[in-house]
């Protein structure tokens, strides 16, 4: 097993994995990787309900699951602030049926994989949730759905795996990347349009490529045009504070991509973009490839001390902070981002 990979299964065969469970709820993140993972799970469980969730809302959504239903959680990190309650709810649901947790985000600090009280855990940092889901459900689905795993992996920058490399020798690389790009861009345009996202999950589960799904191309072009507008906004409004590039209160567009654009515009090693949302400030951070700083750990530690929630990946993470704490948060972030950050040539992002 690769470093960072882990699979835990209680019993040689489970009811859910054998297809014996009648009621299945799929809780997935709403980005391209989460959508692709949900499509693969939907192909395995055609009657399953699809819900979209985030780390900050996972606990509430788990509370809404009726006992006796199997639950498949895909591409949703465990929030440190809600960990105890989430694990308790998993234990309660596992008494009635299967709880399958598939994810590729780092677990909360101090959490061992055996601490996750799922009946099945598939966890690997560096692989996409789509890939992990495909590997788990592969015996019971169309093998051509490996394309869906490839699209999810590419959209989530998780291409340095054996499955993706092998897949690229099976299909034309340019075609796979075009489909992944269309899907990722279109879903960025869909944002909170969960009805449309469910339709995309269904079509992908049926084997339809993104380019044939209704409105995908139009939405992708629309989103791409908006991204160039975001890039121009970043060029005009980004500020560089030491080795930190900051875009405050982005009016629209992707926070993560704006943070990435801030790196390119300023040459800083870490980019941050914020947006005020009611009583909270949402923010995303990105690091330049090779920079030795773990943004996931950093944001988790700051939010655990000050309030709010944060986390993600080493090179790409986000946080939600109460508005009244935003200045303290930014002060802490500035102090933690040293003026000179060493680089590691082996880091891809």
Whichever domain contains 18, its CATH number is: 3.90.1640.30
Considering the domain boundaries, does residue 104 fall inside one? yes
Question: Is 34 exposed, middle or buried (CB count within 10 Å of its CB: 0-12, 13-18, 19+)?
Answer: buried
For residues 346 and 60, give the distance between their C-alpha atoms in angstroms, rounded to a whole number: 39
- DSSP-assigned letter for residue 179: H
Considering the domain boundaries, does residue 229 fall inside one? no
Residue 49 and residue 110 in one domain:
yes
3-state secondary structure of 147: helix
- 313: tokens are 């990946």
Residue 242 and residue 173 in one domain:
no
Residue 187 and residue 244 in one domain:
no
Which residue segment(s) compose the domain that 147 sits in? 5-218
Among the candidates 218, 247, 264, a domain finishes at 218
By the 8 A CB rule, do 341 and 292 touch? Answer: yes
CA 206 to chain centre: 23
Residue 209 and residue 108 in one domain:
yes
Q: Which residues of the chain have pLDDT under 70?
A: 1-22, 338-349
Among the candidates 186, 218, 250, a domain finishes at 218
Considering the domain boundaries, does residue 224 fall inside one? no
Q: Which pLDDT score, from 0 to 100, does residue 17 have?
A: 58
Residue 213 and residue 252 in one domain:
no
Q: Which pLDDT score, from 0 to 100, does residue 197 have?
A: 96
Considering the domain boundaries, does residue 343 fall inside one? no
Residue 206 and residue 244 in one domain:
no
Among the candidates 218, 248, 270, a domain finishes at 218
Residue 280 and residue 189 in one domain:
no
Overall number of domains in the chain = 2
Q: Which pLDDT score, from 0 to 100, does residue 19 have?
A: 53
- DSSP-assigned letter for residue 195: H
Question: Hey, how many other C-beta atoms are within 10 angstroms of the C-beta on 192?
Answer: 9
Considering the domain boundaries, does residue 272 fall inside one? yes
Residue 182 and residue 250 in one domain:
no
Considering the domain boundaries, does residue 223 fall inside one? no
Task: Annotate 243-256 with b (16+ C-beta within 10 A) or e (fewer).
Answer: bbbbbbebeebbbb
Considering the domain boundaries, does residue 342 fall inside one? no
Residue 170 and residue 32 in one domain:
yes
Q: Which pLDDT score, from 0 to 100, does residue 12 have?
A: 33
Residue 165 and residue 307 in one domain:
no
Q: Which pLDDT score, from 0 to 100, does residue 337 have?
A: 81
3-state secondary structure of 270: strand
Whichever domain contains 260, its CATH number is: 3.10.310.40
Residue 17 and residue 128 in one domain:
yes
Considering the domain boundaries, does residue 329 fall inside one? yes
Residue 105 and residue 199 in one domain:
yes
């Amino acid at each position: 097993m690769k470093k960072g990979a882990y699979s835990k299964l209680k019993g040689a065969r489970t009811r859910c994995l054998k297809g014996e469970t009648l009621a299945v709820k799929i809780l997935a993140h709403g980005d391209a990787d989460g959508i692709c993972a949900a499509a693969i799970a939907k192909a395995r469980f055609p009657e399953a309900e699809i819900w979209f969730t985030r780390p900050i809302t996972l606990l509430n959504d788990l509370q809404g699951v009726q006992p006796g239903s199997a639950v498949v959680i895909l591409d949703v990190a465990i929030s440190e602030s809600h960990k105890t309650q989430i694990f308790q709810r998993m234990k309660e649901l596992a008494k009635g049926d299967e709880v399958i947790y598939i994810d590729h985000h780092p677990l909360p600090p101090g959490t061992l994989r055996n601490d996750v009280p799922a009946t099945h855990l598939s966890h690997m940092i560096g692989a996409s949730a789509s890939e992990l889901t495909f590997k788990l459900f592969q015996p019971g689905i169309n093998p051509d759905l490996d394309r869906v795993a490839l699209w999810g992996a590419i959209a989530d920058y998780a291409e340095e795996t054996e499955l993706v490399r092998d897949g690229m020798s099976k299909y034309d690389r340019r075609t796979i990347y075009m489909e992944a790009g269309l899907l990722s861009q279109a879903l960025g345009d869909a944002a909170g349009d969960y009805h449309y996202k469910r339709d995309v999950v269904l079509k992908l589960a049926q084997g339809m490529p993104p380019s044939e799904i209704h409105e995908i191309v139009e939405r992708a072009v629309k989103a791409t045009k908006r991204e160039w507008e975001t890039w121009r906004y970043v060029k005009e409004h980004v500020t560089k504070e030491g080795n930190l590039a900051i875009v405050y209160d982005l009016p629209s567009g992707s926070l993560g991509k704006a943070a990435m654009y801030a790196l390119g515009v300023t040459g800083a090693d870490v980019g941050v973009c914020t947006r005020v949302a009611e009583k909270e400030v949402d923010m995303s951070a990105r690091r330049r490839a090779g920079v030795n700083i773990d943004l996931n750990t950093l944001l988790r530690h700051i939010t655990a001390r000050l309030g709010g929630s944060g986390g993600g990946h080493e090179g790409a993470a986000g946080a939600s902070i109460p508005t009244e704490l935003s200045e303290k948060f930014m002060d802490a972030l500035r102090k933690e981002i040293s003026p000179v950050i060493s680089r590691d040539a082996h880091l891809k992002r």
